[in-house]
């Protein structure tokens, strides 16, 4: 059987996580319009009669911030570029090439693994993807070029075919029902973090961490979930809670609705906002 490791790389916000979810067919990795949504590498596993492809979704290359989180992310991208069967370099035709794009292109030119250059978001009207031609001209020594839309899932099968041809024969890395390497609890934390990202407008989300405190299935099948939202400053805490706790309610309702939809059970979700200026040092 074929067994391949494929890394998704690219600038923040180009749609790597959306593409991962489309390839796996279920929500493995959270998605938002804000940069640096993905904070830790997350694997999604695709099973097929031909074998198995393990996709690694990575935090987007983001040079704007020099704090600990982004430094760690960029180091991670450096370290993991070697040792995979293929890299999919995801590009967004609605934004011009900038410093981050050049930085990642430079990295990609240095690696020996086959690179697939993929222009995403092709569902956007032409007027909104003004830089399509610029990206078509990109040369990082790629072995293939793709243009598709992760949102409407066009052309994914052709991409999967190519990835299987690039993969080696080998043993499966994961059992055939396993779709991701992140555990249930971590996925819950991620889902709550996604709702924070989607609802808050400020720079704030980068200073946030969600941790699960309690998860209990009650006799009637409903679930009780308690989680903490950690932030670095009282001022941020007030923003997350919002006037009359409206913001926190909105975040909680969005997470609860999605969880009820996915699990088909009633969910009670209790969120508490906590301040710890040093959470980044403790958790990252």
Ligand X SMILES: Nc1nc2c(ncn2[C@@H]2O[C@H](COP(=O)(O)OP(=O)(O)OP(=O)(O)O)[C@@H](O)[C@H]2O)c(=O)[nH]1
Tell me whether residue 203 or residue 270 sits nearer to Mg ion (CB atom): 203
Site string for ligand X, 134-173 (x = CB under 6 A): ---------------xxx----------------------
The span of 41-49, 115-123, 175-183, 203-211 binding ligand X (CB under 6 A) equals 115-123
In the region spanning residues 45 to 64, those forming contacts with ligand X, defined by CB under 6 A, are 59-60
**Residue selected from 31, 210, 229, 269 as contacting ligand X according to rule CB under 6 A:** 31
Residue 132 binds which of ligand X, Mg ion, none (CB < 5-8 A, kind-dependent): none
Helices 99-110 and 68-80 cross at an angle (nearest 10°) of 30
Report the DSSP pairing between strands 86-91 and 2-9.
Answer: parallel
Q: Name the residues that contact Mg ion, by CB under 5 A.
A: 16-17, 37-38
CB-based contact 16:43 (threshold 8 Å): no
Asked if residue 124 binds ligand X (CB under 6 A), the reply is yes
User: At closest approach, how far in Å is the CB of 100 from ligand X?
Assistant: 10
Rounded distance, CA 275 to CA 235, Å? Answer: 9
Residue 140 binds which of ligand X, Mg ion, none (CB < 5-8 A, kind-dependent): none
Asked if residue 16 binds ligand X (CB under 6 A), the reply is yes
Tell me whether residue 17 or residue 149 sits nearer to Mg ion (CB atom): 17
Asked if residue 121 binds ligand X (CB under 6 A), the reply is yes
Q: Which residues contact 239 (CB under 8 A, 6 or more apart)?
A: 200, 202, 204, 247
User: At closest approach, how far in Å is the CB of 117 from ligand X?
Assistant: 15
CB-based contact 268:226 (threshold 8 Å): no
Residue 115 binds which of ligand X, Mg ion, none (CB < 5-8 A, kind-dependent): none
Asked if residue 269 binds ligand X (CB under 6 A), the reply is no
User: At closest approach, how far in Å is the CB of 91 from ligand X?
Assistant: 10
The span of 14-22, 130-138, 247-255, 263-271 binding ligand X (CB under 6 A) equals 14-22
Report residue 156 as tokens. 């994914």
**Residue selected from 14, 163, 196, 255 as contacting ligand X according to rule CB under 6 A:** 14
Tell me whether residue 203 or residue 234 sits nearer to ligand X (CB atom): 203
**Residue selected from 3, 6, 17, 93 as contacting ligand X according to rule CB under 6 A:** 17
Rounded distance, CA 169 to CA 99, Å? Answer: 38
Interaction site with ligand X (CB under 6 A): 10, 12-18, 31-33, 35-38, 59-60, 120-121, 123-124, 149-151
């Amino acid at each position: 059987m074929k067994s391949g490791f494929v890394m998704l790389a690219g600038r923040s916000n180009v749609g790597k996580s959306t593409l991962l979810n489309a390839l796996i067919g279920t929500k493995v990795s959270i998605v938002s319009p804000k940069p640096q949504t993905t904070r830790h590498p997350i694997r999604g596993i695709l099973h097929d009669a031909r074998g198995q492809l393990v996709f690694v979704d990575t935090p987007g290359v983001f040079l704007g911030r020099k704090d600990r989180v982004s430094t760690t992310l960029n180091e991670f991208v450096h370290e993991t570029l070697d040792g995979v069967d293929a890299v999919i370099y995801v590009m967004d035709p609605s934004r011009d090439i900038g410093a981050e794009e050049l930085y990642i292109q430079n990295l990609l030119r240095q690696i020996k693994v086959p690179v697939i250059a993929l222009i995403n978001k092709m569902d956007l009207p032409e007027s909104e993807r003004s830089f399509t031609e610029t990206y078509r001209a990109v040369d990082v020594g790629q072995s293939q070029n793709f243009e598709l839309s992760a949102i409407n899932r066009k052309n994914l099968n052709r991409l999967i075919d190519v990835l299987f041809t690039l993969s080696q024969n080998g043993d499966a890395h994961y059992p055939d029902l396993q779709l991701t390497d992140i555990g249930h609890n971590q996925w819950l934390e991620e889902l709550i973090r996604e709702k924070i990202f989607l609802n808050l407008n400020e720079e704030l989300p980068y200073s946030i961490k969600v941790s699960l405190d309690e998860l209990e299935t009650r006799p009637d099948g409903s679930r009780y979930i308690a989680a903490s939202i950690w932030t670095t400053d009282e001022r941020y805490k007030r923003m997350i809670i919002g006037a009359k706790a409206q913001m926190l309610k909105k975040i909680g309702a969005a997470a609860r609705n999605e969880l009820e939809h996915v699990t088909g059970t009633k969910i009670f979700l209790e969120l508490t906002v906590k301040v710890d200026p040093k959470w980044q040092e403790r958790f990252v």
